[in-house]
Structure 1
Amino acid sequence: MSLKTKEGDIIAKEGYPFIAGGLISAALFYKLNLKTLAAAGGLFGLYSLYFFRNPTRKPPVLKRAIVSPADGKVISIGEHYERYFFKREVKRISVFMSLFDVHINRMPADGKIVSIVYKPGEFLSAFKEKASDVNEQTALLLDLACGKRVVVVQIAGLVARRVVTYPKEGQELKKGEIFGMIRFGSRLDVYVEDEFEETVRVKEKVKAGESILGIFK
């Protein structure tokens, strides 16, 4: 049975195997008097506990506002070709998630998941521009309650080896609601096709489900 993180979970369920593996290995190595390995296992278990944290978020109420789907740093704002659904140059905002950021992904606005496309690929550093084109990724087309359309792309990174997407096509979610995660370093690209005024800058830190990326005009 697949694990699925929900609101109220302090720790993302996807982290349980990593946390348990690290702490159990630490206990076994300690029993075998392999203290260095025991310390390494313990540190990995504790880091996994921190990495898979799931803090509560309170989305803003502005109906035409788009919030960040990820914690991290804004690394790019500009025109970029969206190849899955819009198939043309539109505005894109990219958020990079480091190994120390929360990796839970949240809905940028109220809306319906119209279509989901998964593409296997490489595992370049998610900070690189080329990662948007060649890395493993899942693209979601959203029809928003405000009448606009947005594409959100989950992109695996150098360390990440699994993109997790919970909802099915046709499912409706609220702004800030959890829709997936990416394990261990990655990025999310947000594409908007209509007139949109961004309210963030490159290098700005943002929080999933809370920080406003911009507002549709």
Structure 2
Amino acid sequence: MIRFHKEGYKIIVIAFILSIAGILLADKFIEIIWLVKVIQIAILILLFTVLQFFRNPKRVTTLDERTIIAPVDGKVVVIEEVEEPEYFKDKRLQVSIFMSPINVHVTRYAMSGIIKYSKYHPGKYLVAWHPKASTENERTTVVIENNVIGEVLYRQIAGALAKRIVNYAKEGEEVVQGTDAGFIKFGSRVDLYLPLGTELAVKLGDKVKGGTQIVARK
């Protein structure tokens, strides 16, 4: 059975209502049969796209405090040492995962631990793969700490189409690896900032599955 994320319920209901109305109106007011069919098929394709975007497949996470799992579905587009300017203010290993519109857009906690920092930043809507997207786009920054790995930062970044980032992380809260951490609507990217020396389990170009696939380990 297909599950949908709660952040999409309102949009899905509206999409269903508009789709039914559009199909009925096309049949009533357009006399050219082939044109009616084209319009109705286009409406159904748009509805399917909305449903596809908000799907929330169940993922079974193998809990391990020594591992960091992919927070989202997508493609690994960046692996490099960088200066993290907001929280750590020192060098970290950045791993960035880009989500296309057809990917599952649920964000999941990459590891279990305590939320040490959670902040929302309004910003621009540059394409998600733009180098400045991580510092200029709408984004949220969250830091999780556990006793084995230490502190890991992840950043939800809005893309050119994304207009709302949903972040459930609250400072002081204890969270469980693989559980629901939020949602990014309509295209985006998530950056992970790991301690230097962290052993990676992915490489550039890899496609990863959020909530199950190991990205790095201590």
Query: Which residue of structure 2 aligns with residue 14 of structure 1?
Result: 7
Instruction: Give the TM-score of the pair, scaled to structure 2.
Output: 0.89
- Give matches, 1:60-209, under 5 Å: 60-209=62-211
Q: Give the Cα–Cα distance (whole angstroms) in 2 for the partners of residues 194 and 121 of structure 1.
A: 28
Which deviates more from structure 2 when the two are superposed, residues 168-177 or residues 60-69? 60-69
Query: Which residue of structure 2 aligns with residue 24 of structure 1?
Result: 17
CA contact (8 A) 1:86 1:193 kept: no
In the TM superposition, residue 158 of structure 1 has moved relative to its aligned partner by 0.8
Q: Give the Cα–Cα distance (whole angstroms) in 1 for the partners of residues 213 and 187 of structure 2.
A: 20
CA contact (8 A) 2:163 2:185 kept: yes
Which deviates more from structure 2 when the two are superposed, residues 128-137 or residues 177-186? 128-137
In the TM superposition, residue 147 of structure 1 has moved relative to its aligned partner by 4.9
List runs of 5+ in structure 2 lacking aligned partners.
31-35
Query: Which residue of structure 1 aligns with residue 33 of structure 2?
Result: none
Identity %: 36
| Structure 1 residues 114-155: Cα deviation after superposition (integer angstroms, max 9, x where no partner) | 111111111111122221121110000111242510001000
Helix, strand or coil: the match of 2:170?
coil
CA contact (8 A) 1:126 1:158 kept: yes
Distance 1:183 1:45, change over 3 A: same
- Structure of larger gyration radius: 2
Query: Which residue of structure 1 aligns with residue 212 of structure 2?
Result: 210
List runs of 5+ in structure 1 lacking aligned partners.
1-7
Greater fraction helix? 2
Instruction: Give the TM-score of the pair, scaled to structure 1.
Output: 0.90
Q: Give the Cα–Cα distance (whole angstroms) in 2 for the partners of residues 146 and 9 of structure 1.
A: 36
Query: Which residue of structure 1 aligns with residue 46 of structure 2?
Result: 44
Q: Give the Cα–Cα distance (whole angstroms) in 1 for the partners of residues 196 and 90 of structure 2.
A: 12
Q: Give the Cα–Cα distance (whole angstroms) in 1 for the partners of residues 209 and 92 of structure 2.
A: 23
